[in-house]
Amino acid sequence: MNGARTNTLASLRGSIARIEAPSEANMPNRVALGHASADAMLRGGLAAAALHEVFAGGHQGGAATGFIAGLAGLLSPRRPLVWVRQDFSDLESGALSMNGLAELGLDPRLLVTVRAADVEAALRTTADALACDALGAVVLEVWGNVRQLDLVASRKLTLAAQASGVTALLLRIAATPIPSTAETRWIVRAAHSPPGPAAGGWGAPRFDAELVRNRHGPVGRWIMEWKSDECLFSEPSAYPQPVAAAPAHRPHPAQGGAERRLAG
Amino acid sequence: MAAQEIPSVVVAKQHNAILLHAIDEAAVGAGLSIGLPLANARAICPELVVYDADPAADIKTLNDIADWCDRFTPLVALDPPYGLFLDITGCAHLFGGERALLQIVTNALSRRGFAVSAAIAGTSIAARTLTRHASGKIVADGEEAHAIGPLPVAALGADAAITSGLRRAGLKTIGDVAARAHHEITARFGADFTTLLSHALGQGDAPISPRKPLPDYIVEKRFPEPVSTDTVIAMTLQHLARMLVATMDRQGKGARQLEASFFRTDGAVRSIAVDTGRPVTKPEMIDRLFRERLDSLNDPLDPGFGFDLIRLAAGRTEIVVQQQRDLDATVHDNDELSALIDRIAARIGGKRVVVHLPLESHIPERSALAVPAQHHLAAAAQASWPERVAGEPPLRPLRLFDRPEPIKVPFATVPDGAPHQFTWRRALHAVVRVEGPERIAMEWWKQDGKSLTRDYFRVEDAEGQRFWIFRDGLYENELRDEAGEPVSANWYVHGLFA
């Protein structure tokens, strides 16, 4: 490839980037997660009117759902939330429980669920919903690796989100990340929760959230705790109660957990 | 007959005998009649071609003809096995009068190879009686008795026993029967027959039961030349939508249910319905809903040789409440949301777009109900969900399995205690944190005798995943076999916590 061509390509790429990058004037407003170091890394928080992806292993569906529900709650307080899912994801990772949502401090009254028969219908419905500026956020839940959710599809979603100001959240359980136009990409696992008020029980949900892609900044990995009362993420807080002694015949849960996570 | 046609008959099994069910003209010429045993018929006419009767296909054909007849009037009723009632009140003038309409129907059906007999009268029963023996007749109101009197009693279509009874009594025509005193006929043949008789004579009318409810508004466009291109069809729909909205608007109505019907020249009719969550008052919205629906059809609209009639009907309408739309942001948002829900529902079906309502039940899987968003959006927005207790960690899982998934608990634990480990979906989970049990008894007032009390535990495994598991049944009294010996308990995962 000669120099002139490279230059042309570079200038074209530059102009595409200029067209695609939202200008400073209408820079998407950012919603703080509440977790200080993650917010700093994200330059103030999660960008609204963009596409964000959350990936999780097949057996981490609960944690990933909790994380994305938290994001949706932050991004669209008091505005309707559309959750698009496939029929069989109810079987794979369970139906969304309204009581469970309420327990996390989110409002089930604002939720409209769409049960699509296939990925095409789900994608189309999501693009449609993203065009509706009355919504706060749209969650698309897709189970497994699907061919249809390629770069073109994610670009469509990104453009629709930019046009309307509605945030698109993509929940991918049991899927491997592929190139996309997402603003951020997270891999979420469950983290050990702090001891709760009841003996032996647990406290607030904690997530091991790994930011693996950030279009406009560095990446990182944090343990986040969801504060149901304030509807915010936060740093894992220290709890005054003593941790219940781990049974002697099993390894310490924290160590065991770390090793297993590396393996899976 | 020039060329000797081979008679063909349709047979059906009745009372363990194979009888002729229907016969063609050649068979009539050969001296066969309906009801004759097949063996006798073969003896009369050995070259007979025999077909088996298919009542289901007959009904389907009748329904198809009824679909086709929808183009003349919205009120079409089936009169099985072979009849159709068309209520043409107020419709005949659109087709050039009653006689012309009768001609159109008869000719069109005859062309398609049906043997048609049709008649018009003031009451449905009178018309039906006429078709049996005086096809093509049009009887004005009040002249039924005169027209029907000379017909044989068989034309009434009463039970064979009644017909033969009347004939044996020497009453050959309907007029003969009507001349007798009412109470004599009732005493001998029953009140139903008297009613039938008086309806046939135009005294009172039995209402027909149309196949479809009458839509509130209908607009339609007929084409002298059949149309088949998508552009023309789309433009016609737009035009019809504008007409429909203009008509509804005069009465302050908006459509909640819309149906577009496409009548093909070959008689096939395709109807496409869309429901809306709010009354629709804009032609563009109607147009858009139908476009969504048409785009998503698995079997696209097949124009065949073209459509000669396209109809748009508002099946259900509602009075529209006018609201100030520009200033109030919530009204705008609600409008946008319900329009979005309508569009999605038009494409993938109304039952697939749901909102959630709380149910008064402590059984976890019955504590919420998913209902179509189109109809329950307002109710869902005002639903009152149980308040969460501030400061408490979540007590209920975020994802709940419709059917709790069985897990393997490897060895017996302390009775009433939680397991130390369990296997779910072939993965072993070691339990490090447990809270429970929370005992949830089934609704004994609905009990089928099989549901057991559940002891729920919130457990966290070594990886930090949080599960909601339960043991089905209580050790002390429920988990016993018939001899009273304890049986092992079944464990299930019911949900996943965030």
| pLDDT tens-digit series, residues A205-250 | 999 999 999 988 889 999 999 988 888 899 887 765 555 555 556 5
**Range B141-161 average pLDDT:** 86
pLDDT of the residue at B153:
87
Q: Poorest-confidence range of A43-57, B240-254, B379-393?
A: B379-393
Residue ranges of A 44-63 with Cβ closer than 8 A to chain B: 59-63
| pLDDT tens-digit series, residues B355-376 | 999 988 888 888 889 999 988 9
- Band (B188; pLDDT cuts 50, 70, 90): confident
Q: What angle do CA B146, B152, B156 make, to 5 degrees?
A: 85
User: Which residues does chain B have within 8 Å of residue A110's beta carbon, measured at their own beta carbons?
Assistant: 381
User: By the CB < 8 Å criterion, does A133 face chain B?
Assistant: yes
> Using CA atoms, how far apart are residues B197 and B178, in angstroms rounded to an integer?
8
- Res. A256: pLDDT tops 50: no
User: By the CB < 8 Å criterion, does B427 face chain A?
Assistant: yes
**Range B72-95 average pLDDT:** 89
| pLDDT tens-digit series, residues A10-42 | 888 877 776 666 554 445 688 898 888 998 888
Tokens of B370: 């998913």
CA torsion, points B171, B174, B180, B185, in degrees to nearest 10? 80
User: By the CB < 8 Å criterion, does B388 face chain A?
Assistant: yes
- Res. A103: pLDDT tops 80: yes
Contact A97 B400 (CB under 8 A): yes
> Using CA atoms, how far apart are residues B253 and A31, in angstroms rounded to an integer?
43
> Using CA atoms, how far apart are residues B382 and B103, in angstroms rounded to an integer?
58
Residue with more model confidence, B84 or B451: B84
- Band (A160; pLDDT cuts 50, 70, 90): very high
Residue ranges of A 181-200 with Cβ closer than 8 A to chain B: 189-193, 195-200
A92, closest residue in chain B (CA to CA): B401
pLDDT of the residue at B66:
92
> Using CA atoms, how far apart are residues B434 and A117, in angstroms rounded to an integer?
37
Contact B464 A116 (CB under 8 A): no
Of the candidates B219, B237, B356, B226, which has an alpha carbon nearest to the alpha carbon of residue B285?
A: B237
- Res. B478: pLDDT tops 70: yes
**Range A44-64 average pLDDT:** 91
B346, closest residue in chain A (CA to CA): A125
**Range A135-151 average pLDDT:** 91
Angstroms from A49 CA to nearest CA on chain B: 17
User: By the CB < 8 Å criterion, does A255 face chain B?
Assistant: no
DSSP β-ladder status, B253-264 and B217-227: unpaired
CB B157 within 8 A of CB B132: yes
User: Which residues does chain B have within 8 Å of residue A132's beta carbon, measured at their own beta carbons?
Assistant: 336-337, 339-340
User: By the CB < 8 Å criterion, does B207 face chain A?
Assistant: no
Residue with more model confidence, B467 or A245: B467
Contact A62 B465 (CB under 8 A): yes
User: Which residues does chain A have within 8 Å of residue B377's beta carbon, measured at their own beta carbons?
Assistant: 112
Contact A201 B435 (CB under 8 A): yes
Average pLDDT, chain B: 87
pLDDT of the residue at A263:
38
Contact A94 B401 (CB under 8 A): yes
pLDDT of the residue at A259:
40
Backbone angles phi, psi at B454, to 5 degrees: -110, 140
**Range B12-26 average pLDDT:** 87
> Using CA atoms, how far apart are residues B384 and B357, in angstroms rounded to an integer?
8
Q: Which domains does chain A have, with CATH numbers?
A: 27-237+252-263 (3.40.50.300)
- Res. A260: pLDDT tops 50: no
Contact A202 B343 (CB under 8 A): no
pLDDT of the residue at A258:
40
**Range B346-354 average pLDDT:** 90
> Using CA atoms, how far apart are residues B478 and B487, in angstroms rounded to an integer?
9
Angstroms from B445 CA to nearest CA on chain A: 24
**Range B209-219 average pLDDT:** 88
Q: Largest alpha-carbon pair distance within chain A?
A: 71
- Res. B236: pLDDT tops 90: yes
Instruction: Give percent of chain B with pLDDT exceeding 70.
Output: 96
The helix/strand/coil state of A98 is helix
**Range B175-184 average pLDDT:** 87
Of the candidates B334, B348, B356, which has its C-beta nearest A117's C-beta? B348
B401, closest residue in chain A (CA to CA): A94
Q: Largest alpha-carbon pair distance within chain B?
A: 98
How far apart, in Å, are the Cα atoms of A102 and each of A239, B227, B388?
A: 24, 55, 7
Contact A98 B354 (CB under 8 A): no
User: By the CB < 8 Å criterion, does B297 face chain A?
Assistant: no
Residue B33 class from Cβ within 10 Å (0-12 exposed, 13-18 middle, 19+ buried)?
Answer: exposed
Q: For B316-375, what is the HEC assignment?
A: EEEECCCCCCCCCHHHHHHHHHHHHHHHHHHHHCHHHEEEEEECCCCCHHHCEEEEEHHH
- Mention every residue, 6+ apart, whose C-beta is less than 8 A from residue A173: A55, A56, A57, A58, A60, A61, A64, A89, A92, A93, A141, A142, A143, A144
The helix/strand/coil state of B137 is coil
Q: What angle do CA A95, A99, A103 make, to 5 degrees?
A: 120
Most confident of A246-250, B3-7, B345-349: B345-349
> Using CA atoms, how far apart are residues B259 and B283, in angstroms rounded to an integer?
14
Residue A96 class from Cβ within 10 Å (0-12 exposed, 13-18 middle, 19+ buried)?
Answer: buried
pLDDT of the residue at A262:
38
Which contacts of B32-39 are long-range, i.e. CB under 8 A and separated by 24 or more positions?
B32/B7, B38/B9, B38/B11
- Res. A197: pLDDT tops 80: no
| pLDDT tens-digit series, residues B244-265 | 999 998 988 989 899 999 998 8
Contact B430 A111 (CB under 8 A): no
User: By the CB < 8 Å criterion, does B332 face chain A?
Assistant: yes
> Using CA atoms, how far apart are residues B68 and B269, in angstroms rounded to an integer?
6
Residue type, A178: I
**Range B471-477 average pLDDT:** 81
Of the candidates B334, B343, B396, which has its C-beta nearest A103's C-beta? B396
Angstroms from A33 CA to nearest CA on chain B: 17
pLDDT of the residue at B228:
87
**Range A128-132 average pLDDT:** 91
**Range B372-392 average pLDDT:** 87
User: By the CB < 8 Å criterion, does A203 face chain B?
Assistant: yes
| pLDDT tens-digit series, residues A168-189 | 999 999 999 999 999 999 999 9
CB B356 within 8 A of CB A98: yes
User: Which residues does chain A have within 8 Å of residue B289's beta carbon, measured at their own beta carbons?
Assistant: none
User: Which residues does chain B have within 8 Å of residue A202's beta carbon, measured at their own beta carbons?
Assistant: 393, 433, 435, 458, 460, 466
CB pairs under 8 A between A and B: 228
ipTM: 0.81
User: By the CB < 8 Å criterion, does A249 face chain B?
Assistant: no
Tokens of B275: 């429901």
A260, closest residue in chain B (CA to CA): B463
Contact B435 A63 (CB under 8 A): no
Contact A121 B364 (CB under 8 A): no
